[in-house]
Amino acid sequence: MRLTQPRIWKQEIKSKMRTGMFEKPTAIDNIYFRSGFKTGYRLALQHIGNYKSMDFSRKKNVKIHKVSPIVDAIIYRTANHFGIDREQLLSDKRDRHLVIARSVAINLLKELTPYSLTNIGEILAGRDHTTIIHHISCKSQKNGLWFPYFEIWNSFNKLKLDLESDFKIVK
């Protein structure tokens, strides 16, 4: 009985495939079947895990080719306001004065442009969207660099007013 059972299943599958009621198994289904029944359930789960990790590891590249003039203005004016180069603002260095300038630029980009967090991260030299979320939440919660009465607030407000007046941004 035990040996005939898989034969019956195999015959059922073949008959369903002939009638078109059953889809032809893919190569990955065959791997699941073989690994599940030949070497055990644990190996099948391992294959499934590897397959899922391969499937979701492909990252979508978000490239922004044309940015609005306000983006260039925000980056340029923020760098000039803090006395640094544009390259330093977009670099990976984490010196305090660079991080403050970067945080101001991130918050200005979020408030004055319609770009998503991923796009803002891509504009700022390929940063992750979670970095952008961190800087925005620090400002909204008034902690970290954005502690009340720090000079960063004055810099942010001054740059924001200048950019709003130059680009005629309506709230």
- 163 domain-assigned: yes
Query: How far apart, in whole angstroms, are the C-alpha atoms of residue 43 and residue 35?
Result: 6
Report if residue 143 sits inside a domain: yes
Residues 10 and 51 in one domain: yes
pLDDT digits (tens, 9 = 90+) for 128-140: 999 999 999 999 9
Same domain for 86 and 157, yes or no, is: yes
Question: Ranked by mean pLDDT, which of 19-23, 24-28, 41-45, 48-52 comes out on top?
Answer: 24-28
What pLDDT sits at residue 42? 55
71, pLDDT greater than 80: yes
Neighbours of 31 (CB within 10 A): 16
Residue 64 lies in a domain: no
DSSP code per residue over 60-82: PP-------HHHHHHHHHHHHHH
129 shares a domain with 91: yes
Asked if residue 56 has pLDDT above 50, the reply is: no
Residue at 63 is within a domain: no
Is 138 among the domain residues? yes
Domain that holds residue 41: 4-56
Q: Can you give the CATH number for the domain in which 130 is found? A: 1.10.1750.10
| 33, 80: one domain | no
Whether the full predicted model's pTM is greater than 0.85, yes or no, is: no
| Mean pLDDT confidence for 12-34 | 60
Number of compact structural domains in the chain = 2
CA distance 166 to 169: 8
Is pLDDT at 5 greater than 70 in this prediction? no
Cα(16)–Cα(97) distance, integer angstroms: 69
DSSP character for 88?
A: H
Residues 107 and 29 reside in one and the same domain: no
- Token couple for 146: 């954005």
d(CA 42, CA 127): 38
Give the per-residue pLDDT at 57.
40
Res 167 pLDDT > 80: yes
86 and 159 fall within a common domain = yes
125 and 160 co-located in one domain: yes
User: Maximum Cα–Cα distance for the chain, whole Å?
Assistant: 84
- Predicted pLDDT of residue 68: 85
Tell whether 25 and 47 lie within a shared domain: yes
| Whether residues 106 and 79 fall in one domain | yes
Residues 124 and 79 in one domain: yes
pLDDT of residue 65: 57
User: 42 and 74: one domain?
Assistant: no
**Which residue did the predictor score with more confidence, 155 or 56?**
155
* pLDDT category of residue 54 using cuts at 50, 70 and 90: very low
